[in-house]
Structure formats: structure tokens, C-alpha cells
């Protein structure tokens, strides 16, 4: 009886399973201007839970932001691409609890995001604006700290370069861009962990798309100009960092 030949898995399929390359063609549904408004609202409402588990800005605040704050001098922070505003609101609350003076401006060009953020995050020293970072450059604005959360993977190469240029122009002391690090393990865990939850929102579908679009640390380092540093943070996180001191070192 002749032997049945073994079926081989095409290399392209293996690479796709291993997320070997960024899926730059994938698009998140919530970015569409005509996406379902009810699902978008639920997505914004569910971001705080997802970001608490995945983005871990509490740890970033303790390590990198809180040491720059003062209880007597006002420190300013810009959150670019703030979405529903939960990261900016969290930073405002943590600083207030620590008795530190932090004034936050959170921006997003999507008017839907800003409308939600203004309604659900009414806090002292926290302002939401529907503008692009380039508008702040034209205004001559400057901030001590500039951050973003899960923004880098949305951008094409030219958009990324513009974001980094704008960040450098407005930041006096530090820039911290936090994003997902692409990993097949992260993809599998997020897929399984979110399957029973988050009905009626874009959380699961767009989250998986975000992982496929995101950078690995070495890829991100290769994509940014000299002077920017990529720091890996567990679990499956990249922090893209810059400061004026590093630029002139």
C-alpha cells in the first residue's frame, strides 16, 4: 500500500499563525466614520477595564511620570489620541490622590471620542480638545510630558514620523508612547479571554486587529529616528521614549 504523503503547511500560513509580520492592511472597525454609534459608545465604556489589564499605565505613572511631578509646581501633560479619555482621567486621579499638581490636555481628532470623554471624565485640571497635534504646534503650545496609548500601531510610516516630530516639538521633559507588542501568545490569550465578554462592542475584534498591526520591539526601534528608545514592558508592551536630554547626549 503506497504511503500517504504528509501535507505541509504553506510558509505563508505559518508566518500568519506566528504573526511574523505586521498586518498593515487590517483596519479597526471603530476607526470608520460610519461605524455603529451604539457599539462605539460601548467600546469607549469598556476601555477602562481593557486598559487597566493591558496598558498598565498605573505602573508607568509610578515609574516614569510621578517622579516628574511636584506638589508645589504645576506640571503639564499632553495625551495624544486620547480616545474615550480613561487614561488621562486615571492620571489626573492618581496625581490628585498623591497631592501632586498635574494639568492634563487630552486631544483626539475624532469628535465622537472627545464628546464621550467630556461627558464621562469631568475632573479638575483635565481638558479635552478635538484637535490634531499639529494644531498645538501652530498655537506654540508646550507641555512637560507627552504621552499616547495604543496609537502607534494605527499609523502609517509618514504619520508615525509626524507624530514623533510633533511630540519632540511640544515636550519639555519627556515623551512616553505606550503600545502593544505583537505576539502570537498575546493574540491567543486576548482572543480566548475576551470571547465571553464585551458583547455589542468593538473590543474583541478591534483588539485582535490591533495586535496584528502592532510592532515588535526591534521593529519599532528600526522604524523611529535616532534618539528614541524602545523599552519592552511586560506583558507584551512597548514603551517608546524620548527626552530632550537624551537627544543631546
Instruction: Write down the pLDDT at residue 183.
Output: 95
Q: Is residue 20 part of a domain?
A: no
Give the CA dihedral 195, 108, 61, 243, nearest 10 degrees: 130
Residue recorded with cell 506566528: 18
Q: Is the peptide bond before 150 cis (omega within 30 degrees of 0)?
A: no
202 in any annotated domain: yes
Structure confidence at residue 234 (pLDDT): 82
Chunk the chain into consecutive blocks of 10 residues (it has 249) and report each block's average pLDDT, rounded to whole numbers.
52 62 94 95 95 94 98 98 98 98 98 98 97 96 98 96 97 98 95 91 96 97 97 93 78
Residue 23 in any domain: the answer is no
Domain of 138, in residue numbers: 39-247
3-class DSSP state of 175? strand
Within-domain flag for 121: yes
In a domain, 206, yes or no: yes
- Kindly state whether residue 26 falls inside one of the protein's structural domains: no
Say if residues 68 and 92 touch (Cβ distance below 8 Å): no
Q: Determine phi and psi for 121, rounding to 5 degrees.
A: -135, 65
Asked if residue 17 is part of any domain, the answer here is no
Per-residue confidence (pLDDT) for residue 247, from 0 to 100: 61
Helices first, then strands: H and E counts in the chain = 11, 7
With H, G, I as helix, E, B as strand and everything else as coil, classify residue 239: strand
Identify the CATH number of the domain in which residue 173 sits.
Answer: 3.40.50.150
Q: Looking at the 3D structure of the chain, how many domains does it have?
A: 1
- Give backbone dihedrals phi and psi of 165, rounded to 5 degrees, phi first: -65, -45
Amino acid at each position: 500500500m503506497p504511503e500517504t504523503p504528509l501535507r505541509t503547511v504553506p510558509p505563508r500560513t505559518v508566518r500568519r499563525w506566528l504573526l511574523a509580520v505586521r498586518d498593515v492592511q487590517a483596519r479597526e472597525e471603530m476607526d470608520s466614520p460610519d461605524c455603529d454609534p451604539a457599539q462605539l459608545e460601548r467600546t469607549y465604556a469598556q476601555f477602562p477595564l481593557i486598559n487597566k489589564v493591558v496598558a498598565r499605565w498605573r505602573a508607568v505613572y509610578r515609574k516614569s511620570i510621578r517622579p516628574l511631578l511636584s506638589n508645589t509646581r504645576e506640571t503639564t501633560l499632553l495625551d495624544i489620541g486620547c480616545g474615550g479619555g480613561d487614561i488621562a482621567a486615571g492620571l489626573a486621579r492618581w496625581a490628585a490622590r498623591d497631592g501632586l499638581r498635574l494639568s492634563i490636555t487630552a486631544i483626539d481628532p475624532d469628535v465622537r471620542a472627545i464628546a464621550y470623554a467630556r461627558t464621562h471624565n469631568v475632573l479638575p485640571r483635565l481638558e479635552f480638545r478635538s484637535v490634531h497635534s499639529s494644531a498645538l504646534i501652530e498655537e506654540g503650545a508646550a507641555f512637560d510630558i507627552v504621552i499616547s496609548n495604543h496609537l502607534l500601531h494605527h499609523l502609517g510610516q509618514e504619520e508615525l514620523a509626524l507624530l514623533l516630530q510633533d511630540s519632540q516639538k511640544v515636550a519639555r521633559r519627556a515623551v512616553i508612547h505606550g503600545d502593544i507588542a505583537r505576539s502570537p501568545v498575546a493574540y491567543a490569550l486576548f482572543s480566548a479571554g475576551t470571547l465571553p465578554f464585551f458583547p455589542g462592542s468593538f473590543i474583541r475584534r478591534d483588539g485582535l486587529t490591533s495586535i496584528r498591526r502592532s510592532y515588535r520591539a526591534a521593529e519599532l526601534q528600526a522604524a523611529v529616528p535616532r534618539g528614541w528608545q524602545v523599552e519592552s514592558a511586560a506583558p507584551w508592551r512597548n514603551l517608546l521614549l524620548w527626552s530632550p536630554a537624551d537627544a543631546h547626549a
